[in-house]
């Protein structure tokens, strides 16, 4: 039998310090070696107990979770799973903590204070196992750490994209996406659609953070949003996203269909629709994450004549999703994280058309402008 995963539970609530170890004790591969009521105690317990994984509450007295995380990553980097407050209150802090180096997060239920943690029990156990496997993996440098300043971008003409790039990504995704999108130029000629496994309530703020760090226009997708050159659409949490070719232009469509591969959103759903609608004009990219979501969809893109790419496992926080696609023979290219942006630009090119305005429109303005985009014609490669 392999050694058990040693976990330190850090939470200011005495009830949580009883309930979380009780949940984790259900799995024989996990051992809770200690608990701590705040960051100061946590740092001492880490030195004494040498845990494999830390679960960390973000809201604590004396030394909060954010300050604790900074010190953990500075002194003795190790996998940290965040237990965050519900998204309306905690999304910004959670995303910042992921940028600082946390492996993953899980939102406490609204009724957690009453002791109701059953809804997250299975997920928490799985995330701890994944975090242990991610031990020693170096995260990409975060393009956004603290709240970034708002920078106006020059608006660009609403042009139909030359190609459609579909990205599927999970654990380790926030930093990886920030890293890649920050390196793609503003005059990029293609559209990007992304499924990031992330709960409902977090994706809108995550899209804004990506928009702040990227020369491209990034927004959370809405049904009917047009696919445009230089636009990045991020699937909302708890929805599926597909693409459709329509008379007025190429659009995304959101769906509440049941989860696929245990996920909603699912990369497979997006990839299959991209393969069906765009064929040889499509590029499928599968990046860091656990499980096999996206592998079969990547195979559909390959069968339709599109280009398929997997992030190299050694540059993933968790290599499960790319590995599944590679093992099935569906990835035609395997590329390191720091080479992805330049590869996509080399395949898609840029559009040097002159800018029409000198200011960045707000999201509504961009959407209204998109509605008047000329109909895109069927293109062949």
φ and ψ of 214, to 5 deg: -115, 145
Domains in the chain: how many in total? 2
What pLDDT is stored for residue 114 in this prediction? 62
What pLDDT is stored for residue 362 in this prediction? 43
Work out the average pLDDT over 164-188.
95
Judgement on whether residues 182 and 278 belong to the same structural domain of the protein = yes
Q: Give tens-digit pLDDT for 299-320.
A: 999 999 999 999 999 999 999 9
Q: Is the peptide bond before 265 cis (omega within 30 degrees of 0)?
A: yes
The answer, yes or no, to whether residue 370 has pLDDT greater than 70, is no
Judgement on whether residues 247 and 100 belong to the same structural domain of the protein = no
Judgement on whether residues 126 and 198 belong to the same structural domain of the protein = no
Work out the average pLDDT over 165-170.
98
The Cα–Cα gap between 168 and 269 comes to 10
Mean pLDDT of the chain: 87
Nearest-5° Cα angle at 44, 92 to 26: 70
What whole-number percentage of the chain has pLDDT above 70?
Answer: 84
Judgement on whether residues 191 and 309 belong to the same structural domain of the protein = yes
Within 8 A by CB and 6+ apart from 57, the residues are 10, 11, 12, 13, 16, 65, 83
pTM strictly above 0.75 = yes
Burial code (b: 16+ CB inside 10 Å, e: under 16) for 240-260 equals: bbbbeeeeebbbbbbeeeeeb
Judgement on whether residues 205 and 277 belong to the same structural domain of the protein = yes
> Residue 363 — pLDDT band, cuts 50, 70, 90?
very low
Q: Give tens-digit pLDDT for 243-278.
A: 999 988 999 999 999 999 999 999 999 999 999 999
What pLDDT is stored for residue 354 in this prediction? 41
Judgement on whether residues 281 and 182 belong to the same structural domain of the protein = yes
Within 8 A by CB and 6+ apart from 16, the residues are 9, 57, 83, 112
Query: Do the beta carbons of residue 106 and residue 83 sit within 8 Å?
Result: yes
The answer, yes or no, to whether residue 379 has pLDDT greater than 50, is no
Q: Which of 53-67, 134-148, 222-236 has the lowest mean pLDDT?
A: 134-148
Give the residue with greater pLDDT, 149 vs 66: 66
CA dist list (Å): 65 to 8, 57, 60, 69, 156: 14, 6, 6, 6, 41
- Residues with a catalytic annotation lie at 170, 197, 293
> Residue 352 — pLDDT band, cuts 50, 70, 90?
low
The answer, yes or no, to whether residue 375 has pLDDT greater than 50, is no
Give the residue with greater pLDDT, 269 vs 362: 269
* 94 falls within a domain: yes
CATH number, domain of 168, equals: 3.40.50.180
Q: Give tens-digit pLDDT for 91-126.
A: 888 898 998 889 999 988 776 666 678 888 999 999
Judgement on whether residues 247 and 177 belong to the same structural domain of the protein = yes
* 379 falls within a domain: no
Judgement on whether residues 185 and 297 belong to the same structural domain of the protein = yes
Judgement on whether residues 108 and 199 belong to the same structural domain of the protein = no
Q: Which two tokens stand for residue 70?
A: 């900074």
Q: Give tens-digit pLDDT for 46-56.
A: 999 999 999 99
> Residue 139 — pLDDT band, cuts 50, 70, 90?
low
Query: Do the beta carbons of residue 82 and residue 103 sit within 8 Å?
Result: no
What pLDDT is stored for residue 377 in this prediction? 38
The answer, yes or no, to whether residue 183 has pLDDT greater than 90, is yes
Judgement on whether residues 168 and 128 belong to the same structural domain of the protein = no
CATH number, domain of 72, equals: 3.40.50.2300
Judgement on whether residues 51 and 194 belong to the same structural domain of the protein = no
Query: Do the beta carbons of residue 229 and residue 216 sit within 8 Å?
Result: no
Work out the average pLDDT over 57-65.
87
Question: Which domain does 170 fall in, by range?
Answer: 164-371
């Amino acid at each position: 039998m392999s050694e058990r995963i040693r976990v330190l539970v850090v939470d200011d609530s005495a009830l949580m310090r009883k309930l979380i170890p009780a949940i984790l004790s259900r799995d024989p591969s996990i051992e809770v070696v200690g608990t701590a009521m705040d960051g100061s105690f946590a740092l001492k317990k880490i030195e004494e107990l040498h845990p494999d994984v830390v679960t960390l509450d973000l809201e604590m007295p004396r030394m909060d979770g954010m300050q604790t995380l900074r010190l953990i990553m500075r002194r003795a980097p190790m996998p940290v799973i965040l237990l965050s407050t519900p998204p309306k209150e905690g999304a910004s802090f959670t995303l910042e903590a992921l940028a600082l180096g946390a492996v993953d997060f899980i939102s406490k239920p609204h009724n957690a204070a009453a002791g109701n943690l059953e809804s997250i029990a299975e997920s928490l156990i799985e995330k701890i196992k994944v975090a242990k496997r991610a031990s020693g993996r170096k995260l990409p440098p975060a393009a956004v750490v603290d709240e970034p300043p708002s920078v106006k971008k020059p608006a660009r003409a609403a042009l139909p994209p030359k190609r459609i790039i579909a990205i599927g990504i999970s654990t380790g995704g926030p930093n990886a996406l920030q890293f890649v999108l920050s390196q793609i130029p503003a005059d990029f000629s293609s559209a990007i659609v992304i499924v990031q496994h992330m709960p409902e309530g977090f994706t809108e703020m995550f899209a804004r953070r990506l928009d702040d760090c990227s020369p491209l226009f990034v927004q959370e997708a809405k049904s009917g949003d047009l696919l445009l050159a230089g636009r990045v659409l991020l699937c909302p949490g708890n929805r599926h996203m597909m693409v459709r070719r329509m008379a007025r232009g190429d659009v995304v469509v959101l769906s509440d269909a049941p989860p696929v591969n245990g996920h909603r959103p699912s990369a497979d759903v997006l990839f299959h629709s991209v393969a069906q609608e765009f064929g040889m004009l499509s590029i499928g990219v599968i990046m860091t994450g656990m499980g096999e979501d996206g592998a079969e969809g990547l195979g559909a893109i390959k069968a339709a004549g599109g280009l398929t790419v997997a992030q190299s496992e050694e540059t993933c926080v968790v290599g499960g999703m790319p590995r599944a696609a590679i093992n099935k023979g569906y990835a035609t290219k395997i590329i390191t994280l720091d080479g992805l942006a330049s590869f996509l630009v080399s395949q898609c090119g840029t559009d040097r058309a002159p800018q029409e305005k000198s200011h960045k429109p707000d999201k509504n303005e961009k959407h209204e402008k998109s509605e008047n985009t000329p109909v895109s014609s069927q293109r062949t490669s």
